[in-house]
Structure 1
């Protein structure tokens, strides 16, 4: 079932989130200092491509607070706004609610990606 949901997700708009994470990751990787941030973006691009069957756990530790603040100012707010807009658009229909909820999950990730961990659920 996850495979089918992921396929429909990608065709109906998941590719937008995937592409956005890839573009932001490439922009971060243009600098040597930003390469670790770009690599994190590529990891989350996979999550944006196939979100069903995966969850996000955000750490409560404050070790990544500074990089999350820099991230928010240099790309995170734009990604989060995109995800919220897509989530609202999908939630306008009953059939689209599961896809909208995935976009809201990605919006939270777009605001605080550092210290977040992706794990599979069965």
Structure 2
């Protein structure tokens, strides 16, 4: 079922476009030394954005003050806008019954995009 939902996500839910946007954003951020930690987080979100079904986002053990500080910078500069775009996509997809699973994945991506530092992505067990 995950395979089917992931294929439909890539085709209908915008998964390929989301993956491409996060990938290009991460590459641009990695051009500067200061942007590398933010670029790495974009790559993490890109991986979830391409194939989100079957993945779970959890808090990393031992969150640090540096991660919290980087989350504040992330939220102020880009996180809130990325969060709002995922929420808008979720609301538009939730209008139809078929779009509800995709809307749930956009909400999951929105929460990760709001504060990605200190989060880890794991495969869910069947």
The question of a shared fold, defined as TM-score above 0.5 by the shorter chain, is answered with yes
Gap runs ≥5 in structure 1: none
Gap runs ≥5 in structure 2: none
Q: CA deviation at 1:16?
A: 2.8
Aligned position for 1:10: 10
Please say if 1:113 is aligned against 2:112: no
Where in structure 2 are the equivalents of 1:79-98 lying within 5 Å?
79-98=82-101
Runs of 4+ in 1 over 2 A off after TM superposition: 58-63
Let me know the Cα RMSD of the aligned residues.
Answer: 1.5
TM-score under structure 1 length normalisation: 0.91
SS in 2 for 1:51: coil
Q: Report how many residues are paired.
A: 122
TM-score under structure 2 length normalisation: 0.88
Q: CA deviation at 1:62?
A: 5.0
**What are the superposed Cα offsets for residues 76-118 of structure 1, whole Å, 9 maximum, x if unpaired?**
1221111111111110101110100000000000001000000
